[in-house]
Amino acid sequence: MLPNKQFGIGLMAFSILLLFIGLIYIYQTESFVKSQVKIGPKGECVHEGTICPYEQLNKLSVPKYIGGFLLIAIFSFGLYLLFKRKPEEVKVSNARKIVKNLGGDELKVYDMVYGSNGMMFQNEIVDKLQFSKVKVTRILDKLEMKGLIERKRRGMTNIIVLK
């Protein structure tokens, strides 16, 4: 597994752990504050001191929502890292889609270069497939325009390299 994916899983687990810790803390705090409330004979809030426990609960709501938002952000970033693909993976998946749409001769040339570890001389393709040099050049032009190969000049011939 890739380091980014491991880090993403770690962030998600960390945010879930913080969520449970936060929920336990909020539950205990609210229980404590509510335990200090006494109901008077007419149903009014009776408490000792000048600070009403319900006002304390209202003051706790803002940090509670900010913490929840931050946990969602951390979890979402972990998901992003988990499912993020590297540029190389994107190129390979795009190349596979293009290869599915290749015609007969183009597919033969592409498969030949792919079978030779992604690199081959242009004159080898001409020799092995018994195609004319012009035909191979045109096929390579099409493959290069589709972004599947790259030609590099080496002396009197070209090296064909998969992208």
Sequence ranges of the domains in the chain: 3-83, 88-162
Report yes or no: 87 and 163 within 8 Å, Cβ to Cβ: no
The CATH number of the domain covering residues in 88-162: 1.10.10.10
Mean pLDDT of 17-32: 89
Intra-chain end-to-end CA distance of the chain, in Å = 24
Model pLDDT, residue 117? 84
pLDDT range class, residue 16, cuts 50, 70, 90: very high
**Residue 69 scores a pLDDT above 90:** yes
**Residue 97 scores a pLDDT above 70:** no
Model pLDDT, residue 60? 79
